[in-house]
Amino acid sequence: MNACDLALPCITQLQPYQPGKPIEELERELGISNIIKLASNENPLGPSANVLAALSTASKEIHLYPDGNGFALKTALAEKYGLLREQITLGNGSNDVLELVARAFVASNDEVIFSQYAFAVYPLVTQAIGAKSVIAAAKDYGHDLDAMSSLITDKTKLIFIANPNNPTGTSLNSDSLLTFLEQVSNNIIVVLDEAYLEYGEQDVNTLEWLDLYPNLVITRTFSKAYGLAGLRVGYSLSAPDVADLLNRIRQPFNVNSVALTAAMVALQDEAYIQETKLCNDKGMAQLEAGFKALGLEYIPSRGNFITVDVAMNGEVCFQSLLKQGVIVRSVANYGLPHHIRVSIGLETENKRFLEALAVTLGQHND
Ligand SMILES: *Cc1c(COP(=O)(O)O)cnc(C)c1O
C-alpha cells in the first residue's frame, strides 16, 4: 500500500506551480555571480524606505499573534476605496483569496471557466478541488469574453478574468467587461483579478460595479506595485455576504502581523507608487525599443512584464539567458513555446537582458 494511493485523484494529478528560479539556486548551479532576476514580476525598486522603517517597529511584536481580522488594514482600504470593511477579505497573497473563492463556491464536478493563456493559479485551484477547467480560446493572446460566455453551462460556478492578464499582459476595456457582467447570471461568481491595476490608467473605477453585481469579486495585491511580494498580502473586494463566506473559511491568522503593518504603510506611500509607475513606463519603452531593434514581435502589455516572441524555442532561449546570469520566464507551460516573459527591471537590468538576448539570438541564428 502506497500512501499516495490514499490521496484524491485530483490531487495526485496536480502539476505544481512553477515559481521563478531563485538567484541563490542559479548561483549554486552555475557558480556565477551578478545574476539578475526578471522572472516573477517583482518591483525592481526594492522595498520602500517607509515600509522598511515601519518593519523595524513591527518586528518587536512578532511574539504576538496578528490581528486575525486585520482591522487596521481593512479600515485603511475601506477608506481609500469608499467601501465597507465588511466587503474586504484579506489573504496570504491574493492567491490565497483566489483559492478561498474556489473552495467556497465550487464543488467537485462543477465547472470553472477561464481563458487560454490565463494566470496559472486558476487551473491549479480548480483542479485542487476536483472541479473541471473549461478553457476559452484566446483572441490575440487576450481574453475573448464572448467565447467565455458561450461556454457557460448550468454547471458553471466560477469565472476567472485577469485584467491585465499574466503572462500575456493583455487587457480588456471596461465596456466589454460591463457587457460581460451584464450577461452572466447572478448565480455564477466572477473573479476580476486586478493584480497589475496600478501600472495602467483605469478608464473607470471597477469598484463601482460591486453595487451592481453581487456575484463580482475583485482581487488585488500588495505583491506587485506595492513591492511586498515576500510578505504575502492580497485581498478581495466583494458584496459583504460573499466576503463573510470567504472569511469563514480562511485560516484565522492568514495574514501575518509584519505583513499587515507593511501593507498599511505601503498603501499610504503614494510617492513609491508614482516612482514605480515611472520606472515601469520607462523600462517598458526600453524593452519595446530593444525588441524592435532585434526584429522581435512582442505582445503589448499593461503590466510590469512583457512577453516577446523570440522566434526560437523559448525554453532554449530561457536556458541560454540563464547561463548569462539573466533569469526570465519560459512560458512553454502556458502553450507559448516561442515566447519568453520578462519582468520590467531597472534600466541597467533591462539593458543587460537585451544584450544577453542579442547574444542568444546570434548564437541560434548561425
Ligand atoms: C502576481 C499575480 C497575482 C498576485 O499573487 P499574490 O498571491 O498576491 O502574490 C495574482 N494574479 C495574477 C494574474 C498575478 O500575476
61-81 pLDDT per residue, tens: 999 999 999 999 999 999 999
Q: Residue 17 above 90 pLDDT?
A: no
Give the separation between CA 166 and CA 290, rounded to whole angstroms: 21
Just give the CATH number of 61-268. Answer: 3.40.640.10
pLDDT digits (tens, 9 = 90+) for 214-233: 999 999 999 999 999 999 99
So what's the pLDDT on residue 319? 95
How far, rounded to the nearest angstrom, does the alpha carbon of residue 115 sit from its chain's CA centroid? 15
94 lines ligand 1 (CB under 6 A): yes
The number of beta carbons lying within 10 Å of the beta carbon of residue 278 is: 10
> Is the beta carbon of 193 within 6 A of some atom in ligand 1?
yes
Instruction: Compute, in angstroms, the gap from residue 180 CA to the centroid of ligand 1.
Output: 23
Give buried/exposed letters for 318-338 (b at 16+ CB in 10 A, else e). Answer: bebbbebbbbbbbbbebebeb
C-alpha cell at 171: 487587457
Tens of pLDDT, residue by residue over 301-357, are 999 999 999 999 999 999 999 999 999 999 999 999 999 999 999 999 999 999 999
Query: pLDDT at position 332, please?
Result: 96
C-beta 350 within 6 A of ligand 1: no
Closest ligand 1 atom to the C-alpha of 165?
13
Q: How far is the CA of 28 from the centre of ligand 1 (A)?
A: 28
pTM (two decimals): 0.96
CATH superfamily of this structure's domain 19-46+271-365? Aspartate Aminotransferase, domain 1 (3.90.1150.10)
**Structure confidence at residue 12 as a pLDDT band (50, 70, 90):** confident
Indicate the domain borders of the chain.
19-46+271-365, 61-268
Share of the chain above pLDDT 70, in %: 99
Specify the ligand 1 atom closest to the Cα of 229.
Answer: 9
Distance between CA atoms of residues 134 and 260, nearest Å: 35
* Per-residue confidence (pLDDT) for residue 125, from 0 to 100: 96
Ligand 1 atom with the smallest distance to the CA of 119 is 13
